Amino acid sequence: MTKLKHIANQAKFCFGGTRPVTGPLKVFWEITHRCNSRCINCDMWQKKATPEMSAAHALNLVEQISDIGALHLSISGGETFLRNDIFDILESAKKKGLKISVNSNALLLNREKIKHLCELQVESTYISLDGATDESNQAIRGVKEGFRRALDAVAFFKDCSKNGKSKVFINTTINHLNAFELRQIADIVSNSEADGWTMSVVQNVDIYKPKPEVLLTPDDIKEIEKAIHDIRKKYPRILPHMSEYFNNFRNSVLYPAKLYQYRCVAGYLTMMIHPNGDVFSCPVAFEKTGNVLEKSLKEIWFNEMQDLRERIKKGKHPVCWFDCISPINILMSCFAPSKWHKLLEPSFLKHLFHKAF
């Protein structure tokens, strides 16, 4: 019944609806803003850490997320595993039947923790890797041994998840310092036998403010486009997203206003929760709509967020191109009545085939 509600909810979105009939398809939860990386494409580690809700409140929030009908829970930070009760949260979410993804820089991951993740059958874990060598990875992420630990974590996952129920992906933020290393990183991902490689171009948004020297240039974009073309040819199954997502990297950097052609699903299919319980429509967190320590998640989702949903539909929101939400925007746009012809395009059919098999 929950899945049928989500199908109906997505159909309503495609026909222009703004009032959801169920909870979000995906809840993003940054359980901590503490971080043990020192990335130059994100300044979260430089800020005073956001207060975190108690263990009891965290478990209650898991229950509320399930009760409003959410299907997926994406847990990140900061660094996810800096929170001591992370496995209590994950166990509670699995008992509630939520599909889970976890993001990590792998600095705190070891074989024991990865075995636990596999035993819980956490569906997806995303490991950060931003360079093709230990040196270039350290130049971006600011810590020693991050390169080795990331690849060790992938190897441990492949060892522990023999049934394939816990998948591991390598995740890269493309910036000026690694734009010319993508082919080498692709080889590393392929050799690691990770289940795939996710990527976003560096985003100049307030919450993850990058240093100016990592912002992409027009020459970087040209190289990225060539590299992705070559990578998709060499490793057809390594990149899980539709080609339209990658084709818009240029727009996201040089012509961001063009991205308003896609109606954003933020606040209708997605929700973001911060460590202190503040609720937003998406990871960009541009407008707070409530706090779960003050109001129920149900009240915030169905009532407090409604005005923002109306404005998002009208394009009154900052634009972004994160891989956690933009591919959903593309997919939903294909099902809008005016764009049904896109469902028969070879690139779309090829994407569906790869997802199915």
- pLDDT band at residue 164 using 50, 70 and 90 as cut-offs: confident
Q: Which amino acid is at 55?
A: A
Res 131 pLDDT > 70: yes
List pLDDT tens digits, range 46-86.
888 889 999 999 999 999 999 999 999 999 999 999 999 99
3-state secondary structure of 49: coil
Pairing between strand 196-201 and 167-174? parallel
| One-letter identity of residue 341 | H
pLDDT tens-digit map of 168-215? 999 999 999 999 999 999 999 999 999 999 999 999 887 788 999 999
Chain centre distance of CA 352: 20
Give residues with Cβ within 8 angstroms of 237, minimum separation 6.
196, 354
Between CA 223 and CA 160 the distance in angstroms is 37
What is the per-residue pLDDT for 341? 63
Rounded to whole angstroms, how far apart are CA atoms 158 and 167?
Answer: 8
Contact 213, 175 (CB under 8 A): no
pLDDT digits (tens, 9 = 90+) for 2-57: 889 999 999 999 999 999 999 999 999 999 999 999 999 998 888 888 899 999 99
With cut-offs at 50, 70 and 90, classify the pLDDT of residue 252. Answer: very high
Q: Is the pTM of this model over 0.85?
A: yes
Q: How far is CA 231 from CA 193, 195, 221, 225, 357, in A?
A: 15, 15, 15, 10, 20
Amino acid present at 136: S
Which amino acid belongs to residue 6?
H
Question: Position of tokens 């109001």?
Answer: 295
Question: What pLDDT, on a 0 to 100 scale, did the predictor assign at position 162?
Answer: 74
Residue ranges and CATH numbers for the domains of the chain are 2-8+20-356 (3.20.20.70)
Contact residues for 3 (Cβ-Cβ < 8 A; gap 6+): 71
Could you identify the residue written with the tokens 């503040």? 278
Task: Give the model's confidence band at 357: pLDDT under 50 very low, under 70 low, under 90 confident, else very high.
Answer: very low
CA atoms within 13 A on the CB side of 324: 27
pLDDT value at 343 more than 70: no
pLDDT above 90 as % of the chain:
86
Q: Are 239 and 231 in contact (CB under 8 A)?
A: yes
On whether the CB atoms of residues 85 and 57 are closer than 8 A, the answer is no
pLDDT of residue 46: 87
pLDDT reported for residue 350: 59
Question: Amino acid letter at 309?
Answer: R
